[in-house]
Each structure stands twice: as C-alpha cells, then as structure tokens.
Structure 1
C-alpha cells in the first residue's frame, strides 16, 4: 500500500511544478538571473596622499604586484550601503588577510560611484575609522587611535536613521558603532559566550576570522541581525548563528536563529534584510576561477515553515550561471562571478541586485589567472520579484 501513496505524492509534486526538496516550505528556486550592468575598479587603486601600507608582506610579489605600497589600497570590499544618489558606501576589510600582516592598513569606509556607461568605478572619498575617545578597552596598534587591520577585521556594515554606521567585526566578534565621520561612539559590543582566537577575553570557541561576516538591519530600524561566518564549538557542523540585537537598548535580546550551509566546507559572504522575516545571504566555497563551484545568493526565511530548526532557504541567483544575452561587459555566453570571496549584496529594486566582490588585494586572481582581481560591481535581474518591504527599497 505504501508504493502507490509514494507515487501519488511524487505525481502531485510534479503536476504542481514544485521541486520535491521545496515541497515542505512551498518555495522554489527563482530561476536564472540575467546580467544587466558591469563596472570595475582596477586592483591597483590607492587613496591619494595616504600612508604607506603592506610592509609586513615582505616584498613578495603576488599576481605580479610587489608590496609594500606608497599609499593605502582601496581594497577588498566586504560590505555595501546604498545611497539615494547612485553612490554607495563600501567597507574595506582588515587589509591583507590577518592580524599579523595588517597593522599598517587603515580601516576605512569609501564612497564609490559605478559608471556603468563607461564600465568604470569612481572613488569619491571616504572616512577613516578612529577611536578618539578611547572607547576600545584593549591596546590599539597606533597611539593616535586610528584603527587598523590589526585591531579589527570589519566585514559587514549597515547605516541607521541618524546616519551613523554599525559594523560587524570578526576578531571579537564585536559590533562597532561609528558616527558619520568614522569616529567610534561606544565601546565594542561582544557577543556573549562567543570568542574568536583574536579575542583575549575568553577561551576561543570560534575559528579565526569567522565572526560577523554579514549583518542585516530590520526594515523598521529596531534590530540588527549579525550572522557568524563560522560554527561555534558544540554546534552542528555547518550551522551558523544569527543573533538579534536591540538597537534602542544596545544589547542582544537572546533571540537566536540558525542558518545551515549547504555543506560544512562552505562559508557566507553577506546578509541583508528583504523584510521583517527574510534575508538575502551570499553562500560560497573557497574556490576561484575554474575551481569555483558554489557562489550563490539565497533567500533565507526565519519563520522556519518546515520546522527543521533552520532558516528556510530559496535559491535566488547562481552567480556562476548568469544569463548574458546582451554581452554586457564584453563577456560572451554565460557570465560567471568566480571570485574566492563575494561579500557584498545590495537591493536596487524589487527584482534587481547589486553584487560586489572582495578582491583580497593583491592575492586573488579569479577572473584571470596570475592577474590580481579588480573590484567588480555587477547588477543582476532576478527571474522573480522579491516582494520586499518598501522601506528597504528607499
């Protein structure tokens, strides 16, 4: 009697046009996204008249580029915020990959303007992050309290109603609150019970550089949802914690959600809000170029309709399989975004996303082997609408 029942369920799913794996939540993949626009910032772009950087790299060439550098690289975008005028704020991460080699990299928020007509990206300025009031409770690298990649590894950013920024850090992991001029407004907020190896306050139970890689803000501006990149010791492999933070109270609420990676060897690159219940999450492997296999954007729903204890996931875009019928950017056939780290997604309208890579200057070479990656900015049209909260579209 069980065989006919199983066949009946399979037939019902097939008739409904829903994949069997999606039947529990009533969701299905969006389908193939299409490349709309392409722009690129050259890898060797530096902040004019800034300070030397890269001394700890030892003069070893990477992808044809020899450090140290006379100025600060405009490097490695790990977070993005949309302005209302066609410009974007982008966050550079800790510099050259770890605490030990990034002491002369100054943490900075840049303002950029992609010029999709020419295919270029203009750097319009930015702010360097500082702690003039002495709010960081541990010793900083510099006596002038300018923050460096040896102090924090900033990987996510959101802007709140008063124009100030909240950043997610991986070394604590900490939440960091800065004003519009890049000045720290309060002491770093630790995540209770979670300690990265770079955090001197407790026994490490999180991998190095596995802290707050993504961070969403609720559309009503009341809560932050920072997402860890790594699994906390004792949690199931491939499970990532999303913690709710109350902005008015300045503390965590105790509410926690779980995001499950497609496999434990994958990582996330960013997370932003779509509405009060749904997020966009970049999920990726560590491959680049021809070795890149998983570079995806998922819609993650905290309502957990299948009751498995994890955010429900719907594939929104496969970044290695983007249609490009108009040969945007001079690329023919299927467009691939084949970078080691893709760490920026932003909603432009209800069916259009902006996506940027972290080029890990000068180490990554996903676009052309042996050549340092540029910072690329693409826009893609989704096959379906997001039905986003209007507040995130403003």
Structure 2
C-alpha cells in the first residue's frame, strides 16, 4: 500500500489479460440452486409501487397491495443456514420509490428442494433523528426516496453497516434496523441525489455510489466500492476506500478498481484475506443479451506495479458447469441477470451468488416474466487459500 494519492485497487490493464483464465482456475461448477418467486410480498405490509405506473410489467400490474420481497443487493451469511438479504431502494430511483420501505429480510435457501423461505426481517428507520436532512415519512421509517442501500456487512457487535448510492453514504444500523449515527459521507464524492449539493455539480453519476462494501478480515476496516467513476478519475476506474471503524473516519487510503469496459459495473465485493477480495463485474445485459457476468479475485498489492490491483478470473457466471442438471437446467448453467449484486464466501472454494431481480422490471431468465430472486452456490476449480476470518 502507498499513500492516499497513489493507493489504487484495480483490474488488469487490458481485457486481453483479464480474459485469459490464469493457471489454477478453470471452469467453476454450479453446486446448488434455489429460488424465491418474484411475486413474494411481506405479509401484512403497506401498499407499494404507486409511482411506477400501472404496467403491466412482465405481466405484473401495479400498484401492489403489499411490499415486495425483492431487489437483493447485499447478503450476510449468518452461518446457521440462513442469510440476511438487503432490499435496495425499491423501483430504481428516488422519484418512484417513496412508498418502498427499506428492509432486511431473513431467508433460508434449501438447495435440496430448490426453494427459498422468508423467515422474517426488519425495516430500517431513524427514530433518533440521526439523519440531519428531511426524510420522506413523518414516522421516520426509511424509504427508497431517502437512501438507496446497495451493500451490507455485519460487524462483531452484531450491528450492520450499509453502503448507500444516493450520497454516497455509509450507514450504521442496530441489529433491529435503527440508525445509530448520522450518515457518513466520502469527501469529494457526491451523487446527483446528495442532499448537500446545494447547486454544486455532482462528482458521481446517478445510482453510482457504494455498490460494494467489504468487511475487512481484521474487523477494524470497511472498504466501500463505488459503482461509477468519480469526476476527474480515468473512465472505468472505481474508488475502493478504507474506513476505520475504531476512529469512525476514512483513513485517506484508497485503491482503484478498473472495469474491463467503461459500460460495465460492479455488483458486490467481499474479503478473502487482508489483501485480496472477490468482486462481481457485469455488463448491463440480461437473458440472451448478457455477455459479461464474472467474479474476479483482486489483489491490492499490485505486483505488476501498474497502479491497479492484479486481477484473476475465478468464475464466469455465464459458463458454469452443471453436471447434475441442477434447477432443471442443462449441463452448462447461465446466471443471465442484469444485476448480480450479492456474494458470500461459504468455504475456501465455494461462493453463494444472488441476483437483484429489479422487480417487476427485469426478465433475464424468461422473457416476459419477472425474474425470481435466485440463490446459487458455485464451487471454484481451485482453492482461494482464504484467511479463516473471511469465513466467519
């Protein structure tokens, strides 16, 4: 690592290098499949979707009588067979998501039956008035017009940190979803939705804030990763900053993650050890138009001294071996969703991957039908040699 001016985390400099699977990693294998139906709603919850139009959208009409269980944009492995999954801002932007309540769901996928069960969850709220700007609701339940939460980690004390795209902000919540402190901004980085712009020009594109959030294996640091390039940076370069939980501030260190194409985006990032992370990179296609959905192992030590972290392709999500025909699919499995935004490390060779189904708008699996929330497990062709703390 070097100083803040030079610290960089990036991908390989050219697609030609990145496309060549390095020694030790070949085709990954699908080992588990389960799905939650798209039209799953929170029982007894409020109506939602009044601002998206009547549709139909992929055969689904709006508004909805209840809150949909959708948009999984972050995941926490609870190590008991269940997972916390984070719903994002709702329907895609501030203007149409004021009646979508931000929520963490507890789910239990069963790859034997292929089903995902929703066990409950909790809404996010700010009853203690930690947010200094106006919120949508007088009861201070947080909505998709307030924040666009896209990433989540749970730390040692059981509280949650989440990455938001509208600020972008880091948000700290209790184990039951109560905001514990004011949103934490990143100096010099402001999206168009940032409430503190005051007429200034944003430095980040809309919905291009903290798409990924890594909990460091040391338990002390977080590493939020932007989805978009900050103004003045090389197009396709994404900032991966270091935040000190003990001091409650950014350290000034950062890395740069270089996308393989400026039209790509990242979906999630998780730690493997002190220097290495797994990152999902994807294009914007779905179904037959999906061409690039990959998981990379990136190394912040930058062994080739190009100012970018080194990158190794470990799984092509459009080309997974499926020898058992899991999910009723053929011997090659594709995960062809527009937004793939959830990674969890299950063991030294297995990752869980989930999609954000953008309900009711995305239809990557079956044209004309809204996507389910799918949960898959993928076995890599070689071990990661992960720090055991990354598996906790």
The two structures share one fold, judged by TM-score above 0.5: yes
- Give the 3-state SS of the residue equivalent to 1:56 in structure 2: coil
Say which of 115, 121, 126 aligns to 2:116.
121
Cα distance between partner residues in 1 of 2:44 and 2:249:
39
- Give the 3-state SS of the residue equivalent to 2:389 in structure 1: helix
Aligned equivalent of 1:148? 143
Say which of 32, 38, 42 aligns to 1:47.
42
Q: TM-score, normalised by structure 2?
A: 0.94
CA contact (8 A) 1:31 1:383 kept: yes
Shift of residue 21, structure 1, vs aligned partner: 3.7
CA contact (8 A) 2:133 2:195 kept: no
Say which of 222, 236, 239 aligns to 2:220.
222
- 5+ unaligned residues in a row in structure 1: which ranges? 1-19
Q: Is the aligned partner of 1:338 residue 2:333? A: no
Say which of 56, 63, 71 aligns to 1:61.
56
Matches within 5 A, 1:264-283: 264-283=262-281
Larger Rg: 1
Cα distance between partner residues in 1 of 2:192 and 2:226:
14
- 5+ unaligned residues in a row in structure 2: which ranges? 1-15
CA contact (8 A) 2:324 2:331 kept: no
- Give the 3-state SS of the residue equivalent to 1:210 in structure 2: coil
Say which of 227, 240, 243 aligns to 1:245.
243
Matches within 5 A, 1:300-379: 300-379=298-377
1:349-385 Cα distance to aligned partner (Å, 9 max, x none): 0001100000000000000000000000000110000
- Give the 3-state SS of the residue equivalent to 1:344 in structure 2: strand
Quick one: higher RCO (CA 8 Å, sep 6+), 1 or 2?
2
1:279-321 Cα distance to aligned partner (Å, 9 max, x none): 0000000000000000000001110111111111100100000
Matches within 5 A, 1:167-246: 167-202=162-197, 203-246=201-244
Cα distance between partner residues in 1 of 2:311 and 2:17:
11
Aligned equivalent of 1:14? none
Q: Is the aligned partner of 1:383 residue 2:378? A: no
Say which of 132, 136, 148 aligns to 1:137.
132
Q: Is the aligned partner of 1:159 residue 2:159? A: no
CA contact (8 A) 1:28 1:315 kept: no
Greater helix content = 1
**What is the number of equivalent residue pairs in this alignment?**
373
Cα distance between partner residues in 2 of 1:91 and 1:47:
14
